[in-house]
Amino acid sequence: MKSDVPLRSSLLLKLMALSMLVTACSIIATAWLTVHSTAVAIRQEQGQVLDGEHKIYDTLLGYAATHHDWRGAGPLVKRLAEQNGQRITLTDTSRRPLVDSAPAAEAKEQPLPAEASTTVDPLAVDKVPGTGRTAKAAADVPCTSAESAEPGLGCRTANGSPPAPATGSIDPRAVGPFLLKRDERRIQNIRVAKAANCLREEGWNVGITERPTGRSVIEIPAPEIPLPDMCGVKMVDLPLPTEADALKQLDKLVAACLTRQGAPAVSMNLDMSWSQKTKKVGPANYQTVSSCVDTGRKEQLLPYVTVPALLFLGRPAQTTSTFLDLSPTNRARIAGVTALVLLVTTLFTAVAGLRMVRPLRALVTATRRMTAGDLSTRVRIGANDEIGSVATAFNAMSEQRERSEKLRRSMVSDVAHELRTPLSNIRGWLEAAEHGIAVPDQALLSALVGEAVVLQHIIDDLRDLSAADAGELRLMRERVDIADLLDQVATAHQGNAKEAGLRLETRCVDYPEAVADPVRLRQAIGNLVSNAVRYSRPGGHVTLSARTEDGQVVVEVADTGDGIAPEDVPRLFDRFWRAEGSRSRQTGGSGLGLSIVRKLAEAHGGTATARSTLGVGSVFTLRIPVEP
């Protein structure tokens, strides 16, 4: 896009000229002082930075996996920052600070980088800790000698169940409700020690290791070789009470997910593998089960881990070695050239800065006045450069905000318009029944119920207008008799029509039907009838007609009002727009009703249009497909 700022007035050109001048002086002043740094030193520094960042990430990930919030992470973050010589900041996903190693004043002066270094989330780890492989790569290892490969299902154990899954995206230190109590750890340690000593006496080379849950287990150099059924090995593998309760909870979460997916139920094991319950899990359901297991584990661990945090790492202190000749003569030259560069740079920066800051100060003053509530404030546009363009944009924004504020202030009356019609109908019929004018028969009750439903849906539509704009308005479709629907609308508005001195009638060429939402469709037609009654002259008539045409049901609401100017017809369905004259606020029209009519028609896959003749009347047409 071509710039509207002349090149000679371009702020970019001015800044480039100033930058080139300062750069030239700096190069001349520092060229003879610069020496190369060795590639080995650079590689060493880069390696130290990567190692330090990996250590920071792993340490914070371990904290996140074992704590439910970040409130106590301050000392840990400061210690890591001191050890690695860089600033460490943790924020939530909205970039609100959680923990910062820098002092508050320094943190305010130094904004965070545009992008985070990584995300610390124990339930969504990019790498498997200690291996450097992604979770997918860790899960793609070949089957062991104790497992067999089954087509479509992957590796299977001897009893036919899948093996324990890879760590995947969940950090193994996140154990949640599986964390053993002190007494349970002591009991398990005794069992494991006895079993391990017995196996060693039988000639087995075994060791003892402790998992993050606190459970001690027997470990052998070749894990693919199963341990013999001796020395109480089975007793060692039995779940303890805490683990049993956690497994029951996990079973419920996985079962709920599988039920929603229509997959067969499974039973979770302590090593996070699962066993089949009622029937064999086929290839089509294996991925579903695995996904539900992962989802269930994350849902179970969610209360025990911290919320995901964005990790921002500042640049570490540089230690690159340089070699300079700091003799007295060179030091004098350095001091002289530095002073000259500083003087020239200061003068040019001051001149350019003053010219650029003046309009910026005007913008700041105008912004503060706008913040204080003065939406009529404007900025006087000076030079035709980028800052002038900013001033123009600011003025346009100010005008837009002033219009939006006026629109916001009229929102209450606009919404009241949509609620007034069904409430007036209900009140009119109830007062007529109270004074004996109308008989409270089934037809009257049905009309009142229908108006109450329309009232409820109007309230829902005001909340769901944004969903309608996105095409996500929910419809309860069924086959609708359009002639019967028109009779219901006419009955509901008959009282208002008589009060206005109008004749309200329906006319159907055939017996059209459509698959639509009857409540939504009645609401749309009711809005059109309400507008027609409101803007028609006494003694006139309003006609509701329907016919089938080219696979569509065409509903027309014709009135004998004053009509609408041709230039106003295209804007009739705009939200919150009202024409002048006959459609002024004094008559109750707000423009929101017709906007809802168009959205409801579009939600049914149809259209809403209008045509009008001044002095004759208007015809509003609603077209919806017979079949969706």
Q: Concatenated DSSP letters for 61-102?
A: HHHHHH-SSSTT-HHHHHHHHHHHTS-EEEE-TT--EEEESS
- According to DSSP, the β-strands at 309-313 and 118-120 are antiparallel
Which of 26-30, 195-199, 333-337 is predicted most confidently?
195-199
CB 400 within 8 A of CB 431: no
- According to DSSP, the β-strands at 503-508 and 541-549 are parallel
The Cα 537–Cα 115 span in angstroms is 64
User: CA torsion, points 611, 614, 617, 622, in degrees to nearest 10?
Assistant: 10
> Nearest CA to 509 among 546, 479, 471, 535?
546
- 118 bridge partner residues: 311
Q: What are the pLDDT digits (tens) for 452-491?
A: 876 776 676 566 566 666 666 778 899 999 999 999 999 9
The DSSP call for residue 215 is: -
Length in residues, the chain: 628
For Cα atoms 596, 554, 452, give the angle at the middle one, nearest 5 degrees: 45
Tokens of 96: 């609100």
CA distances from 426 to 183, 456, 603, 619 (A): 70, 13, 27, 26
Q: Which positions ≥6 away from 599 have C-beta within 8 Å?
A: 461, 465, 468, 469, 473
Q: What are the pLDDT digits (tens) for 159-205?
A: 444 444 444 588 889 999 999 999 999 998 998 899 889 988 888 88
Higher pLDDT pick, 229 / 575: 229
The DSSP call for residue 567 is: T
Which stretches does DSSP call E strand in 429-550? Answer: 478-481, 503-508, 513-516, 541-549
**Average pLDDT of the residues in 211-234:** 83
The Cα 422–Cα 353 span in angstroms is 64
CA distances from 567 to 495, 588, 612, 614 (A): 33, 21, 11, 11
Residue 259 has pLDDT above 80, yes or no: yes
Residue owning tokens 């007494």:
183
> Nearest CA to 614 among 560, 557, 539, 564?
564
Q: What are the pLDDT digits (tens) for 392-442?
A: 787 888 877 777 676 566 556 656 666 777 788 888 888 888 888 878 888
Q: Determine which of 140-149, 218-227, 320-329, 549-558 has the lowest per-residue pLDDT on average.
A: 140-149
What is the model's pLDDT at position 249?
92
What is the model's pLDDT at position 206?
87
Residue 315 has pLDDT above 70, yes or no: no
Please give the biggest Cα pair distance in the chain.
114
